[in-house]
Copies of this chain bind each other. A is one copy, B any other.
């Protein structure tokens, strides 16, 4: 790599709100999105909530000349909704489906059926290995009483771990997506602290878009007003995050966000705003890369502790639900035995027969509920164990750091004393 090496990269991210039959003006919006992407010719366009594979195929055809490489990440029953269009050849791709993703019986929320995931693309650009990740975490339906909090924290942890373990040889890491997390939310801090990713909105000096970088704003006619009741300016839940290895320096030259209506037609492309970032990767002079200091490790330790508590509470709750379900199964079986006895005895036969269906339903439903929550508790326990291990090692490193700092200080003091003598 030449010392004056510089790589410019234009990236687009949008949660497309593409639910067939439910999202308003979907076909028109997908068409306009295709036109917009063709006009702008980004290096990489990462999309979420493209729930219909037909929409992806339509875009693929339309964008083929400008974006020869594309991939649709399939998972779950409905899909992950994630896809990507790239101007540059995709060297490799893979995906990781999150272990926990809501509850199957919350059918009206539907996240469980989607198979939320993180997709990874490996690109080779200007001699650099470039890992681009696209993701979409579980939605937040009620911020005051968020029953999905533990799952979202577990997803943020799995996302961070997936990036951590798959990007070890990458020169540049880029993560785009709808995290369904506000900037100061636990999951967002956990992700940033463990991966070391930087937030384009916070880093750039040239931002144009809604106040506070919001990506769901009241000006957008498709936005659900109820979701923004507590936030008159809007919320920021879509992100462009990045980092580069030592020896390289990555910065966000400009970050543009749509403002609730598309510049040309006036009506928005989605209920979310699109993020358009111009990133610049440059060679940075070799620097002394000291191990993180005591003060630098503290935020990681504190966020790990907080996440541990959240996962632990989620686990306890999962186990509690499994226990309740266990009791219900027992009750249901008792009821079924009673009904069988009544039918056999010829007493109130019709009532017994009528009660048979709901009783069988109760036992089967409670059985499924039990199995689901046992699996949920196991999933949370797994994330907690991984997190606890990292926490342990971070503490060890901190203790070692303090010791060596103390030793250094002691050595210095002794040296001072020696000099004094």
> Which B residues lie within 8 Å of A71 (CB)?
385, 389
> Which B residues lie within 8 Å of A91 (CB)?
393
A357 CA to B340 CA, complexed, in Å: 14
User: Residue A168 at the B interface, CB < 8 A?
Assistant: yes
User: Residue A64 at the B interface, CB < 8 A?
Assistant: no
Would you call A382 and B77 a contact (CB within 8 A)? no
A359 to chain B, nearest CB (A): 9
Would you call A381 and B74 a contact (CB within 8 A)? yes
> Which B residues lie within 8 Å of A77 (CB)?
371, 374-375, 378
A292 CA to B368 CA, complexed, in Å: 51
Would you call B166 and A169 a contact (CB within 8 A)? no
16 interchain pairs (CB within 8 A)? A71-B385, A73-B382, A75-B378, A75-B379, A77-B374, A77-B375, A77-B378, A90-B389, A94-B161, A95-B382, A115-B378, A166-B168, A168-B169, A353-B354, A356-B357, A360-B361
User: Residue A105 at the B interface, CB < 8 A?
Assistant: no
User: Residue A350 at the B interface, CB < 8 A?
Assistant: yes
Would you call A386 and B97 a contact (CB within 8 A)? no
Instruction: Using CB atoms and an 8 Å cutoff, list the residues of chain A in contact with chain B.
Output: 71-77, 79, 90-97, 99, 113, 115, 120, 161, 165-166, 168-169, 350, 353-354, 356-357, 360-361, 364, 371, 374-375, 378-379, 381-382, 385-386, 389-390, 393
A371 CA to B107 CA, complexed, in Å: 13
A99 CA to B75 CA, complexed, in Å: 9
Cβ 8 A contact of A389, one of B93, B97, B120, B378: B93
Cβ 8 A contact of A382, one of B75, B99, B381: B75
A93 CA to B161 CA, complexed, in Å: 9
A115 CA to B100 CA, complexed, in Å: 13
Would you call A115 and B375 a contact (CB within 8 A)? yes
A412 to chain B, nearest CB (A): 30
A76 CA to B75 CA, complexed, in Å: 17
Q: Report how many copies the assembly holds.
A: 2
A346 to chain B, nearest CB (A): 13
Known: A165-B120, A356-B357, A360-B361. A378 touches B92 (CB 8 A): no
> Which B residues lie within 8 Å of A350 (CB)?
350, 353
A99 CA to B71 CA, complexed, in Å: 19
Closest to A361 in B: B360
> Which B residues lie within 8 Å of A74 (CB)?
378-379, 381-382, 385
A121 to chain B, nearest CB (A): 11
Closest to A76 in B: B375
- CB-CB nearest 5 A-B residue pairs: A168-B169, A74-B382, A357-B357, A165-B166, A74-B378
> Which B residues lie within 8 Å of A354 (CB)?
353
A161 CA to B76 CA, complexed, in Å: 19
A14 to chain B, nearest CB (A): 22
> Which B residues lie within 8 Å of A364 (CB)?
364
Cβ 8 A contact of A168, one of B79, B161, B168: B168
A2 to chain B, nearest CB (A): 24
Closest to A380 in B: B74
Cβ 8 A contact of A386, one of B94, B169, B356: B94
A236 CA to B225 CA, complexed, in Å: 62
A364 CA to B389 CA, complexed, in Å: 42
> Which B residues lie within 8 Å of A357 (CB)?
356-357, 360
Would you call B94 and A165 a contact (CB within 8 A)? yes
A77 CA to B353 CA, complexed, in Å: 33
> Which B residues lie within 8 Å of A361 (CB)?
360
A111 to chain B, nearest CB (A): 14
A18 CA to B94 CA, complexed, in Å: 33
